[in-house]
C-alpha cells in the first residue's frame, strides 16, 4: 500500500501557502457620514479616497507584521475624525489643518480576530490618541496621516497579540 494520502496533503500544503497565511481584511461603512476624513477643506461630512486607501494599506501592513499563520483580522471602519481642524476664519490657511490639544485623532471601528476559524476576540472600539502632540512620531512630517498611523501602530501593539518568533524569523 502506497502512502498517497500523506503525499497529497503535503503537496496541497506546499502548493497552497495561503492556507496557513495570515490575512487582514479592511472595510469602510457609511463613509458619507464620517466626521472628518478629508485632506482638503470641505465642511461636509465624508472621506477622501486617498485617506481610505492609505489607512487600508497601513492596517494591512500592520496585520502582516503582527498576525500569526492561520489568523484573520477583519476591521470595519465606521467613523474617522482626523487630527486637527480646518479653521475657516484663517484666510491664509485655506487647506491647513491646525493641530490643537483638543483635536486628537479618532477612529471608530469594529474588529474580529480569528484563529483557524475560531473567534479570539470581536469588539467595537474607538481608537484615540489624546496625547498625539506630546510624544514622538516616527512618520515624516510630510505624511498627512502620520498621527492616525502612529495611533494605529500603538493600538495594534496593545490589542493584537504579537507574532510568535520562530527560527525562520
Higher pLDDT, residue 139 or 5: 139
Q: Is residue 13 part of a domain?
A: no
Whether 156 has a pLDDT exceeding 60, the answer reads yes
CA–CA distance, 73 with 123 (Å, rounded to integer): 12
Lowest pLDDT segment from 69-83, 86-100, 137-151: 86-100
Whether 147 has a pLDDT exceeding 60, the answer reads yes
Position 7 confidence tier, pLDDT thresholds 50, 70, 90 = low
Handedness of CA 122, 125, 127, 130 (dihedral sign): negative
Q: Is residue 10 part of a domain?
A: no
CATH of the domain at 124: 3.40.50
Position 137 confidence tier, pLDDT thresholds 50, 70, 90 = confident
Q: Is residue 67 part of a domain?
A: yes
Handedness of CA 162, 18, 61, 30 (dihedral sign): negative
Q: Is residue 119 part of a domain?
A: yes
Let me know: does 24 contact 59? Beta carbons within 8 Å.
yes
Given this model, what pLDDT does residue 168 score? 46
pTM over 0.85: no
Position 68 confidence tier, pLDDT thresholds 50, 70, 90 = very high
CA–CA distance, 70 with 18 (Å, rounded to integer): 9
Q: Is residue 32 part of a domain?
A: yes
Given this model, what pLDDT does residue 166 score? 43
Average pLDDT for 40-58: 87
- The CA distances from residue 21 to 113, 115, 140, 163, in Å, are 14, 11, 31, 12
Q: Is residue 39 part of a domain?
A: yes
Whether 71 has a pLDDT exceeding 90, the answer reads yes
Whether 167 has a pLDDT exceeding 50, the answer reads no
Let me know: does 77 contact 26? Beta carbons within 8 Å.
yes
- Owning domain of residue 81: 19-159
Q: Is residue 145 part of a domain?
A: yes
Handedness of CA 94, 95, 96, 101 (dihedral sign): positive
Considering only CA atoms, which of 96, 76, 77 is closest in space to residue 86? 96
Whether 60 has a pLDDT exceeding 50, the answer reads yes
3-state helix, strand, coil in the chain (%, to 5): 30, 25, 45
The SS3 call for residue 96 is coil
The SS3 call for residue 115 is strand
Lowest pLDDT segment from 90-94, 104-108, 128-132, 140-144: 90-94
Q: Is residue 14 part of a domain?
A: no
Count structural domains, the chain.
1
Amino acid at each position: 500500500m502506497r502512502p498517497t494520502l500523506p503525499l497529497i496533503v503535503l503537496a496541497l500544503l506546499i502548493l497552497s501557502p495561503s492556507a496557513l497565511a495570515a490575512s487582514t481584511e479592511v472595510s469602510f461603512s457609511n463613509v458619507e457620514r464620517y466626521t472628518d476624513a478629508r485632506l482638503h477643506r470641505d465642511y461636509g461630512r465624508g472621506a477622501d479616497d486617498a485617506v481610505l486607501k492609505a489607512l487600508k494599506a497601513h492596517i494591512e501592513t500592520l496585520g502582516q507584521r503582527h498576525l500569526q499563520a492561520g489568523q484573520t483580522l477583519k476591521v470595519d471602519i465606521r467613523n474617522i475624525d482626523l487630527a486637527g481642524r480646518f479653521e475657516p476664519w484663517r484666510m491664509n490657511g485655506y487647506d491647513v489643518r491646525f493641530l490643537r490639544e483638543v483635536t486628537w485623532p479618532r477612529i471608530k471601528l469594529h474588529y474580529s480576530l480569528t484563529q483557524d476559524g475560531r473567534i479570539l476576540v470581536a469588539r467595537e472600539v474607538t481608537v484615540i490618541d489624546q496625547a498625539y502632540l506630546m510624544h514622538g512620531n516616527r512618520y515624516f512630517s510630510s505624511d498627512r496621516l502620520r498621527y492616525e498611523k502612529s495611533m494605529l501602530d500603538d493600538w495594534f501593539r496593545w490589542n493584537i497579540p504579537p507574532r510568535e518568533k520562530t527560527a525562520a524569523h
